[in-house]
Amino acid sequence: MTGTALFTPLTIRSVSLRNRIWVAPMCQYSADAEDGMTTDWHLVHLGSFGQGGAGLVITEATAVSPEGRISPQDLGLWNDEQAEGFRRITDFLHSQGAAAGIQLAHAGRKASTYRPWASERGTVPVDAGGWQSVGPSPIAFPGYAAPVELDRAGIDGVVDDFVASALRAIDAGFDVLELHAAHGYLLHQFLSPLSNERTDEYGGSLENRARLLLRAVSAVRQAVGDDVPLLVRFSATDWAIDGWDEQQTSTVAAWARDAGADVFDISSGGNTAGVTIPVGPGYQVPLAEFVATNGDVPVSAVGLITTPAQAAAIVDEGRADAVMLGREMLRDPHFALRAAHELGVAIDYWPSQYIRASWPE
């Protein structure tokens, strides 16, 4: 395994990533309530992945506006104070040799919800710190309050918010940007016919349903210039009849590539409730393969990738250009270092304090 491509650097535009082991965005619901600011939790949580050898560490879904938060405890990047709070995180990641990425997001109709470990479920009422959600159509996600349909001025505002947050992210030291168009959040809601029943230029045909995402990609690319890598996270399928699926994802990914995106982070689900998802080791890797082949685009794979051998096989077999790990990184933030040790790969970025762990005995 010493020749595995898992530890081969990957260059995207002006950024060289030291390996293909990337940390997926994972919501922590631990920002200072109401102001979206980072805390020591985020520094230690994200910093441990950089210390642990990951090539790219992507910050959780970070709201581009207050109403774009999933919960009142979500991170935000709609003002300069929030950007300054991220700086110590990006500085630490860089000091460990990792690239810093951020996922920019708007929750749409799935906004203003209680965080997962709260005793309550569903939508947080306005008088308890919540707010009115918005969406492409006034269709509620099951168990949540109905959103208000965005008008054209509101849609323009969403695009402007993505651009403003992207520029703040660059100022905060982030190397890589990702737009969140998955898991039933706003951009995904526009893409899927199950949540988008509009009859204007943002609904109906695939071209129309993809219009908001493509506007966001194009506007962010124009704003940040040619050097910054831009990823898009897709849910490749809704796992539902007549919903968003792999073929539509492949088509829109190719359009997004032409609009300025570079790599596509392929997940699935999140836009509908009560669907059957065939969860198992690497269960979303075939979706990434499909999008790569049919869209002719670079992809990363995510979803129950839990062992070094499994991660290496995905990359070595050409099934994805990189792997993203979530829960396994929570169990072992030093997964990348462990993978190098188990696979017999010599790397030069073991922290000096941990160098003894690289020894074979």
- pLDDT per residue over 134-159, tens digit each? 999 999 999 999 999 999 999 999 99
- Say how many domains are in the chain: 1
Does this model's pTM top 0.85? My answer is yes
Counting as low any pLDDT under 50, the low residues of the chain are 1
With contact defined as beta carbons under 8 Å apart, do 85 and 38 qualify?
Answer: yes
Q: What angle do CA 273, 143, 108 make, to 5 degrees?
A: 80
Q: Which domain holds residue 104?
A: 5-358
DSSP assignments along 236-289, one per residue: S--SSTTS--HHHHHHHHHHHHHHT--EEEEE---SSSS------TTTTHHHHH
Percent of the chain with pLDDT over 70: 99
pLDDT for 34: 72
Question: How many whole angstroms from its chain centre is CA 343?
Answer: 28
Euclidean distance between CA atoms 77 and 71, whole angstroms:
14
| Choice among 29, 114, 185, 202 that is catalytic | 185
pLDDT for 2: 56
Termini Cα distance of the chain:
18
What's 190's domain CATH number? 3.20.20.70
Residue with tokens 């997964």: 335
φ, ψ (nearest 5 deg) of residue 299: -140, 155
Euclidean distance between CA atoms 129 and 31, whole angstroms:
14
pLDDT for 1: 43
Is residue 185 annotated as a catalytic residue, yes or no? yes
pLDDT for 30: 97
CA-closest candidate to residue 162, choices 81, 68, 297? 68
φ, ψ (nearest 5 deg) of residue 88: -70, -25
Burial of residue 247 (number of CB atoms within 10 Å: 0-12, 13-18, 19+)? middle
pLDDT in tens, 55-88: 999 999 999 999 999 999 999 999 999 999 999 9
